[in-house]
Structure 1
Amino acid sequence: MCGILAVFGCSDNSQAKRARIVELSRRLRHRGPDWSGLHCHEDCYLAHQRLAIVDPASGDQPLYNQDKTVVVTVNGEIYNHKELRAQLKSHTFRTGSDCEVIAHLYEEHGENFVGMLDGMFSFVLLDTRDKSFIAARDAIGITPLYIGWGLDEMKALSDDCERFTYLLPGHIYSSKQGGLRRWYNPTWYSEQIPSTPYDPLVLRGAFEKAVIKRLMTDVPFGVLLSGGLDSSLVAAVASRHLADAEAACQWGSQLHTFCIGLKGSPDTKAAREVADYLGTRHHEFHFTIQEGIDALEEAPNKEEFHQETCQKIKALHLYDCLRANKSTSAWGVEARVPFLDKEFINIAMSIDPEWKMIRPDLGRIEKWILRNAFDDEKNPYLPKHILYRQKEQFSDGVGYSWIDGLKDHANKQVTDSMLMNASFVYPENTPTTKEAYYYRTIFEKFFPKNAARSTVPGGPSVACSTAKAVEWDASWSKNLDPSGRAALGVHAAAYEETGNTEAANLMNGSPQKRLEMLDENCNSCLIEDIVASASCGWHMFVALWEKLLTTKEGNWLHKQNEIVPYKFVFLFSKTFLKGNIKYL
């Protein structure tokens, strides 16, 4: 992932304005530590902070067409760039960057080329011939893009813009046409009930293609493995096809997998078993509840079912995509998400929702169509009990006492009186729990303007479900616990002895000693990434990531790339996010 900033129509094009834009761009440096680039054309500026993944040597941005009349700054990866280059035979390319193809596609097709891109992206393109520009975002919103003056990280906007918002996923803004229009409009988006019969081989094939195309990289990579269905399938497919990928020539054919959790947690046990089964080089990292909190502070009918799934995908850019992008980018890591592949989603969403519903009478549990698609008796992808393992949210899977410790910490920081008066202090998106109130105070500290507040959604939700889904089950509708294990009996696994004497002596799974509040000098970019995406377990993972790199388990990363030792790519699935689309 990278950081991009574009400013158009500056009345003052002085050296002072240029210096200010450079300063704003540097606020995004945590997203791209490898290179800083700036293009100026009269009153237009395009800046870029690069995280070099493809063509590290020559792919610095901004990028241009052959005569440099078209300039583009991009945050993302274009997986089909080689196929697109082959179609542009009359064009001369300057670099091997996957993103350079965007400038040439615009030159060839005008503004109607965005649908040709297969990947994750946010970009701003300037045509210097008439000073027109476009800004576009990928189909699902995997990469963020905020508009005030136009950029991809709210931090660079917060001081200089009175009003800003996010660019909607699957949309393009055109200065020529003076507004937004949707470029991604699949049939499922209308929430019309599909009727395509379920074909496990088609679904499996689409997912395997989604994983394989994300093996495109010129830097070390690995898989974040929780031991749940989704991440285990990502690891299984990647492990099978890695030897045939170009990346294997540079980094070897043995896949690296990573897992984090409390000692004895469900995820670490399951991930270890999956890694052994697949023969990966596995890296496991344990944390205590105290370390986690310290890091934080730095049943419907099929019509309703399908509509809920559509609404969740449409809202992913406000929750899961933000969480994945910001939390990894904060540490110079790029996350790739095969479950959000455009082709895979279109195939999965075209299947009759009757096949996706939980049907105990037919032996169908949650995610049955995905489990069944990879249930290959002759050439198994995973052990049977892993393939049909019960769903765990990340916040529970890392250790059941983690969510309790986090809640208890919030209870110490927020009094009953503070929560009672929350509607007066925060009239918009009023927090209804002490945990939510605690997150909100941190967010307001760094982003006090109303415009920043409006970019964060609210409303009742359990395990990142929509308000409608919460109504389906009475045991969930009155529950305020953010964890998916809140309804009794949901998980077969209960609280287990962790082997950690500190954790074993906790009351309600939390430390007894009072924890200090945030230091004024803490890293604000990490705080934004923590709070803006309202996460628990996932952010704890990335906040502890540097500590992992200093251990012997992380040494291989240092050796793989001496120039930028922390630079690598992760393939991972929504299992590693606190929320999920439960029904695929």
Structure 2
Amino acid sequence: MCGIAAICHDPGCAKYSLEKASALSLLQTHRGPDSRGSYQSPVTGDILCHERLAIMDLSAHQPLQGVRPEQQVVHNGEIYNHQILRETELKGYELKTTCDSEVIIFLYDKYRNGKDVCSRLDGVFAFALVYGDEFLVARDPIGVKPLYYGLDNEGRHFFSSEMKVLEQECGEHEIKAFPPGFFWTQKGGFERYYEPEWFNYKTATHTKELEEIHDALIEATEKRLMSDVPLGVLLSGGLDSSLVSSIAVRKMHQIGCQLHSFSIGLDEHAPDLIAARQVADFLGTIHHEVHFTVEDGIANLKNLIWHLETYDVTSIRASTPMFFLSKRISEMGIKVVLSGEGADEIFGGYLYFHNAPSDEEFQKETIRRVQLLSTADCLRADKSCMANALEARVPFLDKHFLDTVMSIHPKFKRPTPKNGSRPIEKYILRQAFDHDEKPYLPREILWRQKEQFSDGVGYNWIDQLMNHCAAQVTDSEYARAAELFPHNTPHNKEAFYMRKIFHEHFPSESAAQTVLKWTPKWQDNADPSGRASQVHLKTMEKPKHADEHLCAVDQQLIADKHLPEIA
């Protein structure tokens, strides 16, 4: 996992300085503190820069050369089928390293076509390559790895893993997120290479095959254990991360290794920590608990938003605990973790999916959510971890697993009652791993209700964050929200305060336009917290003196007349 930067020159453009490009790339050195490398084509002046976090073949350095010196590639990500490609597609080529990234430049030498190269890669990637006078940039199918592009005033094309590299040169002209599932060439511009059948909601006609779901997730998880460095799992205690952890533990035990698991919360009573502790005991992982304070989170907001490059409230709330957890993991010398992102989008696991008006709308929303992962959970997982040089791998977003589940008819994926109880989300995923003889998880974890990650670390985190942000914004200042921020105008003082911080880091309007806000559908309020859903509230036991213990989210909803007052 790394950071890449690249510059492509149109004919007649003044050649950009390699020294200046390397200095810009240094802004993302947190992504790759192990080594740096760069290349400038003597033919075109095009530039490649790389900040390396060494995961595979620790002795290799990027850019990596192809058959000839004028063929070079920089890559951020992992190519899980690189060994298969070496033995089949690239048989006869003399590759010089065992680094997974190297197969990209040799595939291009063979096919000379972006679609043929990208469609053969099983993994996640953002890469740029120079091949003589040719230039190609590509991003993985779902956008697990971040990538941005921009134009400067001279007409030069800039690409980088993080937007901060582009703001100085391209902010006044154009900055955009590079679309997932596309590649770019100087001659052809953007071209889509990934367009599976499941993009069309009408093709979701398959019956549920629990064994296929089971086997596909196991395969997706096991291939992501590929590493030449220490590896762990992020364990929130929720269904998704717990399943990934359980699968990983079984495989690691087969090869005689123990697995480290990591959880975070405000204190030992946080919902996620309690559940994660139970899972870790059940699985036998070497478990680590990390605590952070609300004050820590608030003090880190400016730094976090600089790393995240977003003002989306949901992403910032959830990234705070993930940032502190990844920092502790990285300090222990672990460079890779598995994580559970993507399952809620694929299976309709968010609580608002209970309110889907029809099977058709349910399926459309799962597709939309998966297609937007690059702006939300994937962005959060990558940037909050890579801020601390930690790579997060996401088995649920494996291409084969996506093909398997997204083709299932939505009636089998919608929340389903269990033993006469309320409908429960991700029912078929739970079913697929509900084995009595050799259980993957304790039953109370396997059938645990969904918690947003930002809620599960402890409800006080969101409550106090909202209060702090509101206190930083005056009524008169907030009254100018539409004037100050006409694009994605903040809808409350929390969002306004986060937008102000973002604007300090990234003042250009084009930077602001790269951000999409995460909001739920089919519910009266727009607060992203899972507790804002009536489904969640109906399952919570009413505490004594409930009026004295209402959280800030609930108080605001009552004020907005979305919830009845609790007597």
The aligned residue for residue 451 of structure 2 is 392
Counterpart residue identity of residue 409, structure 2? D
The gaps in structure 1 that reach 5 residues or longer are 498-504, 511-584
Query: Structure 2: how far apart are the matches of 1:336 and 1:496?
Result: 39
The aligned residue for residue 48 of structure 1 is 50
The aligned residue for residue 6 of structure 2 is 6
The aligned residue for residue 79 of structure 2 is 78
The aligned residue for residue 259 of structure 1 is 263
% identity of equivalent residues? 45
Query: Greater CA deviation, 215-224 or 449-458?
Result: 449-458
Query: Structure 1: how far apart are the matches of 2:280 and 2:96?
Result: 41
1:366-399 Cα offsets, whole Å, 9 max, x none, are: 0001000000111110011110011111111001
Query: Structure 2: how far apart are the matches of 1:368 and 1:508?
Result: 29
Matched, 1:312 2:358: no
* 1:403 Cα deviation from its structure 2 partner: 0.7
Choose the corresponding residue for 2:191, options 174, 177, 181: 181
CA contact (8 A) 1:396 1:403 kept: yes
CA contact (8 A) 2:213 2:405 kept: yes
Choose the corresponding residue for 1:120, options 118, 124, 136: 124
The aligned residue for residue 219 of structure 2 is 209
Once the two structures are superposed, the pairs formed by residues 505-584 of structure 1 within 5 Å of their partners are none
Structure 1 residues 508 and 348, CA gap change in structure 2 (3 angstroms): closer
Query: Structure 1: how far apart are the matches of 2:534 and 2:206?
Result: 36
SS for the counterpart of 2:174 is coil
Choose the corresponding residue for 2:295, options 286, 290, 300: 290
Query: Structure 1: how far apart are the matches of 2:281 and 2:540?
Result: 22
Matched, 1:170 2:227: no
The aligned residue for residue 477 of structure 2 is 418
The aligned residue for residue 163 of structure 2 is 154
* 1:483 Cα deviation from its structure 2 partner: 0.9
SS for the counterpart of 1:282 is strand
Query: Structure 1: how far apart are the matches of 2:289 and 2:2?
Result: 27
Query: Structure 2: how far apart are the matches of 1:271 and 1:338?
Result: 19
1:327-367 Cα offsets, whole Å, 9 max, x none, are: 11111000000011111011010111100112338755100
1:28-70 Cα offsets, whole Å, 9 max, x none, are: 101100111011113111110000001111x210011132332
1:137-186 Cα offsets, whole Å, 9 max, x none, are: 1010000111111222111101111212111100111223x221111111
The aligned residue for residue 144 of structure 2 is 142
Once the two structures are superposed, the pairs formed by residues 211-226 of structure 1 within 5 Å of their partners are 211-226=221-236
The aligned residue for residue 530 of structure 1 is none
Counterpart residue identity of residue 462, structure 2? I
Matched, 1:37 2:60: no
The aligned residue for residue 333 of structure 1 is 390
Query: Structure 2: how far apart are the matches of 1:107 and 1:453?
Result: 38
Structure 1 residues 179 and 48, CA gap change in structure 2 (3 angstroms): same
SS for the counterpart of 1:192 is helix
CA contact (8 A) 2:416 2:424 kept: yes
The aligned residue for residue 532 of structure 1 is none
The gaps in structure 2 that reach 5 residues or longer are 151-157, 304-354, 554-567
CA contact (8 A) 1:405 1:508 kept: no
Which stretches of structure 1, 4 residues or more, deviate above 6 A after TM superposition? 494-497
Structure 1 residues 182 and 489, CA gap change in structure 2 (3 angstroms): closer
The aligned residue for residue 440 of structure 1 is 499
Structure 1 residues 79 and 361, CA gap change in structure 2 (3 angstroms): closer
Counterpart residue identity of residue 105, structure 2? A
* 1:12 Cα deviation from its structure 2 partner: 4.0
CA contact (8 A) 1:193 1:303 kept: no
Query: Structure 2: how far apart are the matches of 1:21 and 1:410?
Result: 37
The aligned residue for residue 22 of structure 1 is 22
Query: Structure 2: how far apart are the matches of 1:400 and 1:480?
Result: 18
* 1:488 Cα deviation from its structure 2 partner: 4.5
Counterpart residue identity of residue 93, structure 1? L
Structure 1 residues 69 and 416, CA gap change in structure 2 (3 angstroms): same
Counterpart residue identity of residue 81, structure 2? N
* 1:94 Cα deviation from its structure 2 partner: 1.0
Query: Structure 1: how far apart are the matches of 2:15 and 2:19?
Result: 10
CA contact (8 A) 1:261 1:285 kept: yes
Structure 1 residues 481 and 416, CA gap change in structure 2 (3 angstroms): farther
1:525-561 Cα offsets, whole Å, 9 max, x none, are: xxxxxxxxxxxxxxxxxxxxxxxxxxxxxxxxxxxxx
Matched, 1:486 2:487: no
The aligned residue for residue 512 of structure 2 is 453
The aligned residue for residue 281 of structure 1 is 286
* 1:493 Cα deviation from its structure 2 partner: 4.7
Structure 1 residues 361 and 201, CA gap change in structure 2 (3 angstroms): closer
Query: Structure 1: how far apart are the matches of 2:445 and 2:550?
Result: 32
SS for the counterpart of 1:159 is helix
What is the root-mean-square deviation in Å for CA atoms of aligned residues? 2.0
SS for the counterpart of 1:223 is strand
1:80-123 Cα offsets, whole Å, 9 max, x none, are: 00000001111001111001000111111221221010101000
CA contact (8 A) 1:200 1:372 kept: yes
**Pairs aligned (count):** 478
Q: TM-score, normalised by structure 2?
A: 0.81
SS for the counterpart of 1:157 is helix
